[in-house]
Amino acid sequence: MPAIRIGQLARSTGHSVPTLRFYEASGLLTPTGRSEAGYRLYGDDAATRLRFIERARSLGLTLAEIRQLIESPGSAAEEHARLRHMVAHKLAEIRKRQQELANLETELDRLYVRLLRTQDPPCGHLGDCECWLPTTEEKKTMTDEIICCGQICDPSCACGTAQECDSDQCCGGPDAVNAQVLITLE
């Protein structure tokens, strides 16, 4: 297949010309030459390289990491080992972020419950006080309760426990439960 110009490559791969120029400036894509009129020319391998770049980006690799993979040629086993190493780091980052998000979710659930209980805050402005922060007693209480349908379920609720609420039996039956989202606190 003859060399194609940047516009043709862009159309055939679904990329924009500025994106291809950016990849070229980043060292990820190299034209095979230029036409007599000065247009960038790309060979058969350019579309394959673009698919590799897009797949790597979709996996969360940075442009610098992709460039490192491209610029460090070696045996197939060495290249796979480098990629495996990068993917292992991405997995570790994602797992750490998932744990951080789970912790944040728990904290937000607890704050939400606290805010539901505060009918008339004692201060005028949240930014000037700590009244919206839970007290030690409230922290203990929040871990022992479930809020559903806008009411507090105690351990003697029809559901049997405060930790696992069967929404069909809690606080007056399914009609009452459908009014609110079930929030389970740890």
Nearest of 42, 35, 2, 45 to residue 20 by alpha carbon: 42
Q: What is the pTM of this model?
A: 0.56
Above 50 in pLDDT, residue 170?
no
21 shares a domain with 54:
yes
90 shares a domain with 62:
no
Tell me the CA distances in angstroms from 4 to 1, 12, 24, 157, 180, one per residue in order. Answer: 9, 10, 15, 72, 60
**Chain centroid to CA 67: how far?**
24
Range in 85-94, 124-133, 139-148, 164-173 with the lowest mean pLDDT? 164-173
pLDDT at 178: 34
Residue 178, in any domain of the structure: yes
53 shares a domain with 95:
no
Based on C-alpha coordinates, what's the Rg of the chain? Answer: 29
Number of domains comprising the chain = 3
pLDDT at 179: 33
77 shares a domain with 65:
no
Residue 139, in any domain of the structure: no
**Both tokens assigned to 179:** 């009014």
102 shares a domain with 154:
no
62 shares a domain with 8:
yes
Contact (Cβ atoms closer than 8 angstroms) between residue 83 and residue 69:
yes
Residue 167, in any domain of the structure: yes
Range of the domain at 37: 4-71
Above 70 in pLDDT, residue 124?
no
Q: At 10, is the pLDDT very low, low, confident or very high (cuts 50, 70, 90)?
A: very high
Contact (Cβ atoms closer than 8 angstroms) between residue 13 and residue 29:
no
Question: Could you report the per-residue pLDDT of 19-63, keeping only the tens digit for each?
Answer: 999 999 998 999 998 888 888 899 989 999 999 999 999 999 999
DSSP 8-state assignment for residue 182: -
